[in-house]
Amino acid sequence: MIGNLVQIVLMVVSIMLPAVAPASAPRQDHTKPTILRFVKNPDLAPPFTIKDLNGNPLSLSDAKGKVVLLNFWATWCGPCRAEIPDLIELQKEYKDQLEIIGLATQEDDAEEVRKFVAESGINYRVAMAPDEVTEKFGGIAALPTSFVIDPQGRVVQKHVGLNDPSLYELEVRSLLGEPVNATVEYFEDTGQVFLVNADRATELPGVDMSKLSPEQKKAALRRFNSERCTCGCGMTLAQCRINDSDCGVSKALTEKIVSEIRNGNTKAMPSPVKTEAGGSKI
């Protein structure tokens, strides 16, 4: 009886052993650094001077030497409300080196915003966002939208939507020259940060130019940057594709242009138009 029991135990152990990883098995690497992406040769942040909710002058120039997180938000925006506690902690942690500025967007009642700020315990400066300021920053197509500005006053990154708070902190620390477990990469701004730079783009979201020759591609890009989208955004086709890759109007128009150029349509190109970066819809 005992011998049978021993045999059963040995059989069970032999079945289980192959499922156990050997001590020398490689483990998943959880220490891989985060990749931070900053604009190469960034543009200076558009200057503005407005009044905060307390009636005091608020200007980006006042924060020179600090990292600035310019946060376009709204009280009615769920993702905006969700990130506020993290922004409060970030401002508290880096109070002498970071200036978070909250610009309330698409809000009609400053008193309601002021009440919300007080109830939420927001510890950074908040102001109502005038239309001219949102236009200077390329139009705000979605909320929240945050611009990261380095101590020299240059816009080095733009985040649209609810962001990982740990990424904000890594960006702040990196821009302050503090050690971070992250790799920094640099990219050319071809409209990702400022739509006005869309004319630098050689590729556009959802636009297939793979069958065009180099000269045809240049011709297509010229038209994308000179013809306006008719969806009502007021942007060029290139800007609209970058700003809203789901826009069916700009997608159809760019596809038509690619087809015309590929089929040898050499009609005169329209003269370039002066475009503004605003006009985005929330």
Asked if residue 46 has a cis previous peptide bond (ω within 30° of 0), the answer is no
CA–CA separation, 145 and 123 (whole Å): 19
Q: Quick one: which H or E segment has residue 103?
A: strand 98-104
Residue 82, classified by CB atoms within 10 Å of its CB into exposed (0-12), middle (13-18) or buried (19+), is exposed
Tell me the C-alpha distance between 131 and 223, whole Å: 29
Q: Where are the alpha helices (DSSP H) in the chain?
A: 2-16, 78-93, 110-120, 131-136, 165-175, 214-224, 237-243, 248-262
Enzyme catalytic residues:
77, 80
Q: What spatial distance separates the first Cα and last Cα of the chain, rounded to whole Å?
A: 78
